[in-house]
Amino acid sequence: MSSVTVEATTPYEVWIEDALDLAGVVSDALSPGTAVVLTDSTVGQFYARSVEEALKSAGWNVIDTLTVPAGEASKSIFVYETVVRRLARSGLPRGGTLFALGGGVVGDLGGFVASSYMRGIDFVQLPTSLLAMVDSSVGGKVGLDLAEGKNLVGAFLQPRLVAADLGWLETLPPREVSQGLAEVVKMGLLAGGEFFEDLELLDAACSGERGAMQTLVLHSVRYKAAVVAQDEREAGLRAILNYGHTIGHGLEAAAGYNLPHGEAVAAGMLAAAHLGDERFHTDLSSTHEALLHAAGLPLKLPPVDIEQVLEAMGRDKKRRTSDRDGKYRFVLLRDPGRPERDISITVAEARRAIGAVLAR
Ligand SMILES: NC(=O)c1ccc[n+]([C@@H]2O[C@H](COP(=O)([O-])OP(=O)(O)OC[C@H]3O[C@@H](n4cnc5c(N)ncnc54)[C@H](O)[C@@H]3O)[C@@H](O)[C@H]2O)c1
Ligand SMILES: [Zn+2]
């Protein structure tokens, strides 16, 4: 099977396939109507034409294709305004559908547009980056950044359909592939079992073997879908997906956002493994190192100030406000497949774990 059903309030399919029959998949899921395609300046050059053609052949009336500049800066109120105004000028009706063709930036921006334009229109994700395929396109979190912080404006909007062609990854730079693989490693460690064992396919996936990549992407989507189905509005359980992200976010902030997310999360997971090894008397940090290495993630970080990392962790919006005792709340692993959340870590423990990773 190359699709996974996300059992959200309104269930939807996620298709992951090499040489995907986009027209067929879209036709099976939705009746044709009026559509706008949103993409970015890099992805659009490669794939906008073929996606428009597929939609047209499936009977859709594609009235516009909108291209935003590639990069995180497009998740802004300013770009949001230009997009919704352009939809209004193009005459996209209340019953229309927005197709987001691109990475997590286009997906998050497009989803927020779809959640608010005319109080909500149908939304389809066509994720083209590995990160978007395994993580951001599944789960319904959409949003924008503010100068005050990332993802501070947003909504929950489940798409009607997610469909990705693994062939799209051919043009994705290897460093971007590794950013997506960091989330794959994260979910494999959290899931355990067959997914964890299949992480031995990381090398093959990195060297472009589509079958290996498809196995890992489907595992990830299935895992994230299962977590999301149990906790659609992020009331609790979904927090386990933050494994490696507490320190990861701190490192990103301390590095002035010059450190790619996946690399920061990789270092964050390694630090969490050190904490877990101390707490649970395990030896998982070497397992982490081997997996992250296979995913092509450099575990050498740019020089950052540990105190700044700790301070940014304290400011992280995901930190519980009840934490007034100077402690952090962590997700740690007892074993692959046995995550525990809400583990209280002192500042001194966190400092030591980050130090161990930075000293490598
Ligand atoms: N909504 C969620 O649940 C969720 C989860 C994780 C991350 N995110 C968000 O996702 C964003 C990061 O996503 P991303 O890493 O995909 O970033 P991105 O969308 O900026 O894509 C990364 C780069 O790769 C390019 N690209 C994408 N697909 C390509 C392809 N097939 N060929 C060539 N180039 C391609 C893009 O143009 C861009 O330059 C962040 O804004 C993050 O906050 C959201
Ligand atoms: Zn992440």
Q: How far is the CA of 103 from the centre of ligand 1 (A)?
A: 3
Q: How confident is the model at residue 322 (pLDDT cuts 50, 70, 90)?
A: very low
Task: Return the pLDDT at 77.
Answer: 98
Closest atom of ligand 1 to 143 CA is 1
Residues recognised as catalytic: 119, 141, 183, 224, 234, 238, 242, 245, 249, 261
| CA pseudo-torsion sign 251, 257, 258, 263 | positive
Which residues are documented as binding site for NAD(+)? Answer: 104-108, 128-129, 141, 150
Q: Which residues line ligand 1 (CB under 6 A)?
A: 40, 42-43, 46, 70-72, 75, 102-106, 108, 128-129, 131-132, 135-136, 139, 141-142, 150-151, 168-169, 171-172, 176, 179
Cβ atoms 38, 109 nearer than 8 A? yes
pLDDT at residue 344 tops 50: yes
End-to-end CA distance of the chain: 41
pLDDT at residue 220 tops 70: yes
What's the rounded mean pLDDT across residues 239-249?
Answer: 95
Cβ atoms 67, 13 nearer than 8 A? no
Mean residue pLDDT across the chain: 95
What is the share, in percent, of the chain residues with pLDDT greater than 90?
89
Q: Give the whole-angstrom CA distance, residue 189 versus residue 191.
A: 6
Of 273, 272, 267, 241, which Cα lies nearest the Cα of 252? 267
What's the rounded mean pLDDT across residues 154-163?
Answer: 97
pLDDT at residue 317 tops 80: no
The number of C-alpha atoms within 13 Å of 177 and in the hemisphere containing its C-beta is 23
What is the share, in percent, of the chain residues with pLDDT greater than 70?
98
pLDDT at residue 319 tops 90: no
Of 346, 336, 358, which Cα lies nearest the Cα of 264? 358
CATH of the structural domain 176-358, one choice from 1.10.3720.10, 1.10.1040.10, 1.20.1090.10, 3.40.50.300: 1.20.1090.10
Can you read off the two tokens belonging to residue 178?
């590794």
What's the rounded mean pLDDT across residues 102-108?
Answer: 98
77-91, 127-141, 145-159, 221-235: segment of lowest average pLDDT: 221-235
Residue type, 316: D
As beta bridge partners, residue 345 has 328
**What contacts 4, CB < 8 A, 6 or more positions away?**
13, 14, 16, 218, 221, 222, 225
Q: Give the whole-angstrom CA distance, residue 303 versus residue 306.
A: 9
Of 263, 248, 266, 272, which Cα lies nearest the Cα of 340? 272
Q: How confident is the model at residue 320 (pLDDT cuts 50, 70, 90)?
A: low
Can you read off the two tokens belonging to residue 103?
């990475």
* CATH class of the domain whose range is 3-172: alpha beta
Q: For 26-71, how does the pLDDT look when each residue is reduced to its tens digit (9 = 90+)?
A: 999 999 999 999 999 999 999 999 999 999 999 999 999 999 999 9
Q: Give the whole-angstrom CA distance, residue 117 versus residue 94.
A: 8
pLDDT at residue 234 tops 90: no
Q: How confident is the model at residue 278 (pLDDT cuts 50, 70, 90)?
A: very high
pLDDT at residue 233 tops 90: no
Q: What count of residues does the chain have? A: 360
Task: Return the pLDDT at 241.
Answer: 96
Domain extent listing, the chain: 3-172, 176-358
Task: Return the pLDDT at 326.
Answer: 75
